[in-house]
Amino acid sequence: MSSQNQFNVLHRFKGILFSAMSSEALLNSLDSFDAREDDVFLVSYPKSGTHWIAEVIENIPNAGITLTSPIEFGDISKFEELKMYSKRRVIPTHLSYDMLPMNIKQKQCKIIYIVRNPKDTAVSLFHYYKDNPNLPCIETWATFLELFLRGDVVYGSWFDHVLNWEEHENDKNILIIFYEEMKEDLFKSIKKIATFLGINVSDSEINKIARKTSFSEMKNNAAKINCDPNHTICALTSNRNLVFRKGAVGDWINYFTSKQKRVFDELFTEKMKHSELARHFEDYS
């Protein structure tokens, strides 16, 4: 990959790589965002399940919400656009906690943070880089993995992102959801999300939402609503067909060599040694 290619589609802001879809002017103005007390933020490192949670929330009956495009997606007109929504806003983002607009923290808006096994996240992001014209094309998995481990990918280091959010895991306005737990028990995860948002949902409604938001259903539906440019949940593309690839847990095993796994595990152990969240991934490593 030529540095010219990387330069065209990515830029650095405060040391972190961002897609050109997030203008520097917008990133510079994040603290001028005016949050509402009932705003909900869906946060994750890329390729960790933001779309999935968004689909779940959108399928909750009578939730009275509007799903917006990501807060960092676009240019300086973004905040004016967000003001137009009259319903309760559900706003996705891949920003770290430290970069989140100050107003969101002051008003203690509800935040759902989704975490996924970093090995599966890396594989998923590799495919995303290959298929997405808004990201540099990195030909080989080995090259991409080196960049991922260095944090030289869009939104920076997975480790730093998760650790930054984990510092706030006990804040009462933050709910942490694990991708793997959603795969194992979608009913339980939906119930947890609805309760956190203060929305009453019956068990039969939860079962219906679980059916509609199974991975295969969402993948089938992606093509149908791909023509709607307003339905952009990702700050890296508006093409929903790129979003749902496999959604598998443990697919990393088909990509990592034993040496790559060792290098990854050593870095994981070093970076995440004080992390409670990291223990969750021991079953998937």
DSSP string of 194-258, one letter each residue = HHHHT----HHHHHHHHHHTSHHHHHHHHHHTTT-TT----SS-S-GGGT-S---SSGGGGT--H
Catalytic residue among 11, 94, 127, 231: 94
Angle CA 100–106–33, to nearest 5: 50
Assess whether 94 carries a catalytic annotation: yes
Q: Give dist(CA 118, CA 265) in Å, integer.
A: 10
- Provide the token pair at 64: 């009275």
Alpha helices by DSSP H, listed for the chain, are 3-9, 24-28, 50-58, 78-83, 102-106, 118-131, 141-150, 158-166, 179-184, 186-197, 203-212, 215-224, 258-271
Q: Which residues are known catalytic residues?
A: 94
